[in-house]
């Protein structure tokens, strides 16, 4: 019997963790990051078609569980994701996730996928896509402050999409830095392990902060940031969690995904409600300016938005077509007569 295609209504294609890893190696991680960035950019450029709402969050002292829904009018998507910084102490991931796409016209799901790995990929692809628009021309060095689960993806994406050649790593946990340096070895980057955040920023045109503690923190103080850099702030992503001194924001041109969400969860939660920001989609379609001078500090206040997950799922759905990197999931009841669900159940009784 031939394997049904992902469009077969009798089942939902499911991309497991194992198949996601196989898909990455089949495509190549750099090519996949470039592909994801292309889909994300395409969807930013049709921003006005999407339903947009801040993610639905359930907060606790330990972390947050969120749903991130959106639709372009033809396809609906959502991601379930958690963020629990203390999980690593128990040997668990800080972030886990899964996502779904469905047809708007009939409500039937068309893809279910793991998104723990995919979220790391789409976050890195988004960071590098934004840096392509905002980083100084010819940027070749990035400081990677916070060397946890995201750091290698961020570094490889910046290489593949922006063209950086050097990554300077720093984490308060030296074991994390050693882990990242080992993982990045042989991947075409010059990797330097640094003893302080200040040291990691020497010669860097791009500064990425990605720390996990759920608290107001100051990873970068005002005097650490010179003119002309691009800051990729991805660690502050929920209320009460920040990484940058407010004075840095005051000196920067700040770019965001969806202001109503970023003002709650991003670095700008520290600022007044009317603090000026520029929406990324406007830069990408050319109605707003990005980098305008060599001395300008640009800051991407990244919190992650549902359209990026939608783009990532859309990309995966296209890539698995005609491959074995998915499995049929018996998720949908499919009675011969759609009005006779009970009859379907009754006929399934053991003889």
Three-state DSSP class for residue 172? coil
Note the CATH architecture for domain 12-117+307-347: 2-Layer Sandwich (3.30)
- Of the pLDDT bands very low, low, confident and very high (cuts 50, 70, 90), residue 163 is very high
Mean pLDDT, the chain, integer: 93
CB 290 within 8 A of CB 315: no
What pLDDT does 299 receive? 98
Q: Which residues are catalytic?
A: 237
Tell me which long-range contacts 286-293 makes (C-beta under 8 A, separation of at least 24).
290/133, 290/134, 290/255, 291/133, 291/134, 291/135, 291/136, 291/230
**Dihedral sign for Cα atoms in the order 224, 225, 231, 236:** positive
Q: What is the per-residue pLDDT across 298-333, written as a single tens digit (0 to 9) for each?
A: 999 999 999 999 999 999 999 999 999 999 999 999
Is the pLDDT at 218 greater than 50? The verdict is yes
Q: What is the pLDDT of residues 284-299, one digit of tens each?
A: 999 999 999 999 999 9
d(CA 219, CA 222): 10
d(CA 227, CA 252): 9
Q: How many CB atoms lie within 10 A of CB 228?
A: 15
> Rounded mean pLDDT of 101-126?
97
Domains 12-117+307-347 and 124-304 share a fold: no
Average pLDDT over residues 241-265: 94
289 vs 221: which has the higher pLDDT: 289
- Which residue in the block uniquely carries the two structure tokens 């070895």? 185
Residue of higher predicted confidence among 304 and 240: 304
pLDDT tier at 85, thresholds 50, 70, 90: confident
Pick from 133, 142, 164, 143: which is nearest to 37 by CA?
133
pLDDT at 106 over 60: yes
Domain locations in the chain as residue ranges: 12-117+307-347, 124-304
* Region 11-40 average pLDDT: 98
Question: What count of other Cβ atoms lies within 10 Å of the Cβ of residue 183?
Answer: 16
Overall CATH class of domain 124-304: alpha beta
Residues 303 and 234: their CA atoms lie apart, in Å, by 6
């Amino acid at each position: 019997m031939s394997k049904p295609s992902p469009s077969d209504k009798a089942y939902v294609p499911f991309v497991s963790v194992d198949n996601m890893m196989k898909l990455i190696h089949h495509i190549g991680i750099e090519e996949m990051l470039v592909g994801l960035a292309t889909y994300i950019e395409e969807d930013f450029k049709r921003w006005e078609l999407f339903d947009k709402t801040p993610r639905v969050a359930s907060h606790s002292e330990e972390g947050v569980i969120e749903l991130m829904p959106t639709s372009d009018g033809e396809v609906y998507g959502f991601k379930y994701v958690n963020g629990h910084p203390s999980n690593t102490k128990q040997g668990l991931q800080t972030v886990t996730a899964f996502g779904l796409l469905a047809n708007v016209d009939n409500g039937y799901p068309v893809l279910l996928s793991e998104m723990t790995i995919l979220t790391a990929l789409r976050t890195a692809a988004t960071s590098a896509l934004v840096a392509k628009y905002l980083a100084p021309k010819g940027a070749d060095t990035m400081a990677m402050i916070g060397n946890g689960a995201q750091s290698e993806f961020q570094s490889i994406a910046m290489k593949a999409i922006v063209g950086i050649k050097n990554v300077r790593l720093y984490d308060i946990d030296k074991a994390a830095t050693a882990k990242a340096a080992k993982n990045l070895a042989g991947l075409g980057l010059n990797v330097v392990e640094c003893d302080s955040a200040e040291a990691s920023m020497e010669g860097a045109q791009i500064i990425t902060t990605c720390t996990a503690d759920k608290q107001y923190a100051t990873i970068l103080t005002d005097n650490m940031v010179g003119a002309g850099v691009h800051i990729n702030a991805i660690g502050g992503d929920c209320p009460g969690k920040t990484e940058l001194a407010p004075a840095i924001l005051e000196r920067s041109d700040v770019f965001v995904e969806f202001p109503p969400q970023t003002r709650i969860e991003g670095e700008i939660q520290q600022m007044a409600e009317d603090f000026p920001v520029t929406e990324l989609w406007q830069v990408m379609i050319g109605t707003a300016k990005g980098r305008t001078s060599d001395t300008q500090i640009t800051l991407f206040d990244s919190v992650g938005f549902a359209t990026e997950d939608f783009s990532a799922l859309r990309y995966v759905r296209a890539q698995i077509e005609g491959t074995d990197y998915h499995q049929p999931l018996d998720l949908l009841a499919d009675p011969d007569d759609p009005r006779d669900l009970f009859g379907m159940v009754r006929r399934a009784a053991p003889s």
